[in-house]
């Protein structure tokens, strides 16, 4: 297990096969997938294991993935937050998903902030993109609170809205 970054309440780390139960709880929940891909819900442990192992391989290949988000107080995986290459790269795309039980507690905002710092400081990413369903208001609030700028929908009949974050602006704000 490799710890990527820690916050006051969270640890972001690489996935372990022991995380399979929590992984399936997150990615097997249709409500979690509601705005992502309703057909992408993991239906069983075999599918979850394959998906988790693909994430481990992605981490090995790229040095980042959607890391496990662990609540420090309980030591339990409550979500995932991290990156993949946006449309093949070189930009990074921010991705986050949390178990329903942990929605509305500020964990997404806390994890996203930590990931953005990591991307800027360790990965040298000058900009980050996030794509969300325009009806996902909770996710939109997280992105806007952190300073992502809406870029509009990729096409008029597509509900996916892209957001942009410039990591150099975050550095400037920290210096002031």
Q: How are beta strands 66-71 and 160-166 bridged, if at all?
A: unpaired
Residue 78 CB neighbours (<10 A):
22
Say what the pTM is.
0.88
| Residue 172: pLDDT band with limits 50, 70, 90 | very low
pLDDT 10s digits, 105-131 = 999 999 999 999 999 999 998 889 988
Q: Which helix (H) or strand (E) holds 79?
A: strand 76-85
CB atoms within 10 A of CB 157: 6
Backbone φ, ψ for residue 82 (5° rounding): 165, -145
**CA atoms of 141 and 51, how far apart (whole Å):** 28
């Amino acid at each position: 297990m490799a710890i990527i970054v820690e916050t006051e309440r969270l640890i972001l780390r690489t996935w372990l096969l022991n995380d399979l139960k929590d992984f399936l709880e997150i990615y097997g929940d249709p409500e979690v997938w509601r705005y992502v891909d309703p057909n992408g819900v993991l239906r069983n442990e075999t599918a979850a294991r394959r998906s988790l192992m693909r994430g481990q391989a992605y981490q090995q290949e790229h040095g980042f993935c959607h890391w496990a988000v662990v609540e420090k107080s309980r030591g339990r995986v409550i979500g995932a937050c991290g990156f993949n290459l946006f449309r093949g790269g070189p930009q990074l795309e921010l991705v986050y998903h949390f178990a329903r039980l942990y929605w509305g507690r500020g964990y997404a905002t806390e994890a996203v902030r930590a990931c953005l710092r990591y991307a800027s400081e360790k990965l040298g990413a000058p900009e980050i993109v996030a794509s969300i369903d325009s009806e996902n208001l909770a996710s939109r609030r997280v992105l806007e609170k952190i300073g992502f700028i809406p870029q509009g929908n990729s096409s008029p009949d597509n509900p996916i809205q892209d957001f942009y974050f410039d990591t150099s602006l975050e550095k400037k704000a920290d210096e002031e």
